[in-house]
Structure 1
Amino acid sequence: MRDFGKAILICAAALISPAAAKANVYLFEVTCSNDKYVAQWESGDADPGKEHFRIATGDVNLDCSIYDYNPKTDRDMPRRWCSDPNGVVRGFPPILILIGYSHCR
């Protein structure tokens, strides 16, 4: 009977404890007329998917081309870590985008 009680407690603890968040990393080549870099996104607990991050990258790089990351050709390019598009991009002032600033650093 004690083993059954231990099993119940272990199962309850496993259900109550927060699950380890597995973040996916998405990489895109960004090619502009005067700049070329790799944009890196890390998803949070709720991963909206690769296309979501591709669109967010294009939204803040209006005059640039966005490509899938190719490790053979893009690995030596400078990398910029991009912030959550649901937070920063929506509040990012459009005038800053037009003068070349980005939410990627």
Structure 2
Amino acid sequence: MGFSFFRVQRHNVFNYKPRFYDAEKEEREKRRRQLWAEDGKDIPAEGAPGSTIKGSFNYLIDRRKSQQRASRIRTLIILFFLIFLAYIILAVDFTKFINLFNK
């Protein structure tokens, strides 16, 4: 298992090398770099932190909001059902109903 109190374990590093060459992809990347350079923008580095997940935080925030909204609606429905059930139990006269079964 390799537990140790004195030494921090190093992370695994993988050197992935693709098995095929895609000329079309290389051309697209070259054109993309040229367009970035023409616009005067910095060319994003491959594998730069946050380069592939730029919009994913907005998606997570929207998803969390919709889940919270659904949770609130579910809670309100359950609360109204319990209030209605308590009203029926406390306010309705069950003596006639009970007398039907006692005969």
TM-score interval, smaller chain = under 0.3
Q: Greater helix percent: which structure? A: 2
Structure with more contact order per residue of length (Cα contacts < 8 Å, sep ≥ 6):
1
TM-score, structure 1 as length reference: 0.27
Q: Could you say which structure has the larger radius of gyration?
A: 2
